Structure formats: structure tokens, C-alpha cells
Structure 1
Amino acid sequence: MFNLTTLVRPNILNLEPYSSARDEFSGTEGIFLDANENPYGNLNRYPDPFQKQLKQKLSEIKSVATENIFLGNGSDEIIDLCFRIFCEPGKDKALTFVPTYGMYEVSAAINNVELVTVNLDKTFQINMSEALPLLTDASLKLVFICSPNNPTANSIDAVEAIIQNFKGIVVVDEAYIDFSDRESLSQKIAQYPNLIVLQTLSKAWGLAAARVGMAFTNAAIVSFLNKVKPPYNISAPNQIAALATLEKTDEYDRQKETLLNERVIMIQQLRQLDYVRKIYPSDTNFILIEVTNADAVYNALTAQNIIIRNRNKVVKNCLRITIGRPHENAVLLTALQNIQP
């Protein structure tokens, strides 16, 4: 039987969270003299600390109840909160599978938590024979799985097997799920009480500057995330921007369709280049390719003010290409065709 309280740090269990003025009165009408705000200006009032309107809209779009939604200042804040809630510094451990998103390692280091890493296999999948023995370690409290994965672009097959075989918390980072044909695990949070699913408005919704990350999980975990977060972690302008963008579902659908079509074109054209050794499968808005000399290709592109990501130090001789607007992709492909690395 899953028991959340055995995983939460004792000081967090006993924490009395900060109570803001907007916790005590959440109405929108009245003379507000409770929060020591300046009565003048357009941005003079504190934002809703629990983003109720935004959560309601997300609930409709994502088919997840509002009580199962937590919003963070980007997914990065939620990653950090998970370490702070579940891992005793200098004592507990977390696990992830590499290569993957670098913030798991950074947040672990900031929180003084040992991060155990296991290499993905040649197809960038989890080797369960290596992973399963690690899941029995009593000091292991968190597992982070990015799926679809960054920088490898593929979806991870063994995610549910990890969830089922681990008594701690599994954080599945679905930042790129909108570009995949796979069903989001956010629809299985009732089935798995130890599951936290992360998503973001930064990618498919085009709101990277607004910093709005989402966690879908059971209400008890949401309550601990709310306990530990800063009181006003998402600004009013960013909440407003997110709500406005979420109303434009037709635009979202058109842009996503364009990006997916451009991804197909990009892959077809990259296959024509002699120095491209491999194009990895992509469930994301980017493509990972292996070339004969990643540094040379990267430097040749930057000399033309075309910026892609050199992942040579993470995956040997690999480059990560984000799918841009059609004319940007055309310029990139022309440049790549003229490079002789």
C-alpha cells in the first residue's frame, strides 16, 4: 500500500505554510486594504496564489480535475520542489536515465541530493535489468524520466514498469508530449498514486517566456507542493498571457500541424546529406542527428548566424535541431547542403 507520508521529509510534514492575504480572502470585488499593496497602478495587486482561473481552463483542455493540478514557475520550479519535499539533503537519492534534461542534475546538486544515473541503451531506452535493482534502495526517493526525452527526442517505453516497481515518487517529464502520438500519463494519476506528470506551456503553446509549468498528480501531493512553493510563484501578467493563449486552440492546432509537417520535411532533407550518419526517431519539436563532425557543422552554421544545439559532449557527434518556421528551416537546410565538414 502506497503511503505518501513516509516519503515526505518530516520538516515538510510539520511545516506551517505562509498564509498570504489572498489565502484569507479570495474574492475579486471590494475595497482591498489587506495586503499592503499600493492602491495605484495597473500591476499593483498580488496575483491569485493558486491560479484558479488558469487551472480551470487547463482542466478543460487536459481532462484533469483542478484539485489534481499544480502550477509552477516553469517545470524547473516543480522539479526543485520535488527534491525539497521528498529528499533529505546529504541522505536521500534520486535516479534518472542519461542522456536527459540537465536540470535534474542541477536541482539535485543545489539540494545536496545524490543523483544516480543509468545510461540509456543504444536505442535510448531504459535497460530494465540495470534499473530494477536500483529501485529497491531504501534511500532512493525520486525517479525522473523525461518522455519524450531531451535531447534524444524519443519516447521511453518502460515508464509504467518503473512506476509499478518503485515505492517512491516517479516524475515523468512530458514537456514534449503535445508533439507525440502517445497518450499522456496524466490520465493515469488515479491509477498510480506515486506518479507526478510534468507538462509545460513553453513548447507547443509557445509561451516559453511566461514560465508556466504544470504538474498533474494526486491531491495529497498537490497539497505539499502548495505548502512549499513561494506564495505568488506565477505573476499576474503570465497568468493572463496563459489564459489568453489557451483560448486560441485553433491557432495551437494549426501551428502544431505546421511543426509536425516541417519535421517530416526536415528529416527527408537531412537524409540526403552524406555527412549525416543517423537521424534518431522524434516525438518532439526537434530532431537529434549524428554527423561525422558535429563541432565543424555547428561552427559552420554559427558563422552564418544559424544557431542549433551542439550536443557532442552529451551524445558523441550529435546535433539537436529545433523545428522552426518554414522559411527558417529552408535557410538551415540550404546552409547544411553547402557545408563540407
Structure 2
Amino acid sequence: MAPSTTKQWTVDGNTGFDALNFNENAPVPEVGDKDVLVKIHAASLNYRDLIIPKGKYPFPMKDNIVPGSDGAGTVEKVGKQVTRFKPGDKVVTLFNQGHIAGSLNAQTIQTGLGGVIDGTLREYGVFDEAGLITMPQNLNFLEASTLSCAALTAWNALYGLESRALKPGQTVLTQGTGGVSIFALQFAKAAGARVIATTSSEKKAEILKKLGADHVINYKEDQNWGETAAKITGTGVDHVVEVGGPKTMAQSIKAAAIDGVISIIGFIGGTEKDQPTFLDCLSNICTVRGLLVGSRLQMEDMCAAIEANNLHPVVDEKVFELKDLKEAYQYMWDQKHFGKLTIKVAS
């Protein structure tokens, strides 16, 4: 018997984390002909989740949304026209549920999980079969729950421009120790690339080195870390994974090689600082692209690479229960985490 109710969180307003409301008896949506009912065992948080209840998310949103884009679980029930999955299959959610392949468009950008479509911070969720991917066999549920946003964003940053996709021997610059940056480091090393990472402490620097970083720059001690990265390579960095926003963009441009690619995927450093202009891209002869996660086709390629190279996401040692979601949000907001912060949802 499929469950009729589920424990779930919703975002009711934009007053901050107090806008998060917990319902222990929410109705489980009906399973349509092409839908899949998933028992969600684990979810993970992203910076996006933190700014949604603060009213700072710049993409489409729905009122009273169930938050969370990232989740891994087990198929409980399938609609009569579902062909991709069967009960018992282990699955991971796709961030933009309608983004199957190619570029985003005006329709598919409106399908963000946890933004426009109810997300993963609930025990049971119903999803279109097109918005799920088979879970990598080498991962557990907590690890797999980190793939939907941060991992796929990192993969898109390195491989999304097919003509400029990462090649062995090239150099990648990552910023900090958040989820996207750690995944970019792992993917780059698996591909035979050289990685220069930035961080704010010696403790984090040692962890980055253990994960394979070839060089680590403390950006608090070296304000011109972008120029330093360029000097380390001699010719500049081939791929910059830009997560900081206006506070780091100028150094990212200085780090880039001629025809290097800077992928802008976030603004965790805030938005209050003078930004480089388009002329800076011209004078440095680099490509700057903004991206919003990636497609199902890219995620399937990424999951295949994770299995083939036996890669394991870096998960923070602290795991929160679903009922303690507000505490998890605050823990991550205070930057107490390393790597991905996970939530145990259903047992």
C-alpha cells in the first residue's frame, strides 16, 4: 500500500528561516500515468536553498514550495505508462525536471525542483519519470543525494561547452571548499587535469591537498590569488569555476589563460562590489559563461564517470534529521560544513 501522508517542509514567505514550516501529515500527491512515487532516503542542501526563504533567489519560484532540489531514494510505485523505472529501483532527482538535453529554454527553466516544482525535503515525493536518474551503484543514499545540483553544476562547468571541454593536462581553478568546488576538483583530477584551489585556512588547505589539489592558495593571505594562479601555470588557467561572485570575478579574469573559460555558477561572496565589465573579457581574451546546473543527459554522463572512477562525494560529518531542517540551514549559513551537508529523510 502506497502511503497517503508524508512529513514535509514548505517555504511560506521570505522572512528568513522562520518561513520554513514542518507538516507531519501532508497528503502524498496522486501518481499520474507517467509519474513515479519515490521514498526519499536522503537529501542535501545548497546555497540556493538558504536564500530562497530569504527572498534572494533570482529564478522562478512558487509560493508554499516544498524546498530541496537534491534527493536520493527508492521507487515505491510507478504510473501505468512509466517505462524508465520499476519499484525497488534506486534513483536520484534531476534539478530542472524538464531539462533533458541541450540548452535550457523559456519552458525548461521553469521546472526547477524546490523552486517551481515541489522538491525533496519530504519523505515521499511524486516526480515525472523524465526527472529521475538511476543512482550510481558505488554510492550510498547520503552520497547520491549530493549529485543533483552541486555535482552536475561542476560537471557542466568543465564539460558543458563541448568545443572547450576539459582535457587531460589542462588546469582548473576552484574557489573554496563548497560542494561545487570540491566536485570540480574531483572531476578534474579524474580527468588527468591539474588543479589550483583557493581557501581561507591551512586546515582546509590540507584537506584540499589530500583530495588531490596540486596547488592551494590562501586567498586571505594573498589578495592577488588570481595573478598567482596564472603565474603558477605560466600561461593562465584553462577553466575557472567561479562561485564567489562580484568579490572574486576580477581575480578569476586575471587567472584565466587566453581562450580560457570562466563558468559563473554562484555568488556566495555576496553581490556588493564593483564587477568587471565585458571589456575585461575582451582585454583578457577569455570566455565567460553563466550556467544553471545541467541536463539529464549530462547527469547520466556524470553518473557513469562517478561509477567508472569510483568517485565518492565529500560529505560533512554532521548529518541532520528531517525534523531538524532549520538547524541544518543555520549550520550551513554559518559555514560550519565542509563539502556537502546532508539530511537523513526516511529510513
Q: Which has the higher helix share?
A: 1
Normalized against structure 2, the TM-score is what? Answer: 0.32
For the pair shown, the structure with the greater C-alpha radius of gyration is: 1
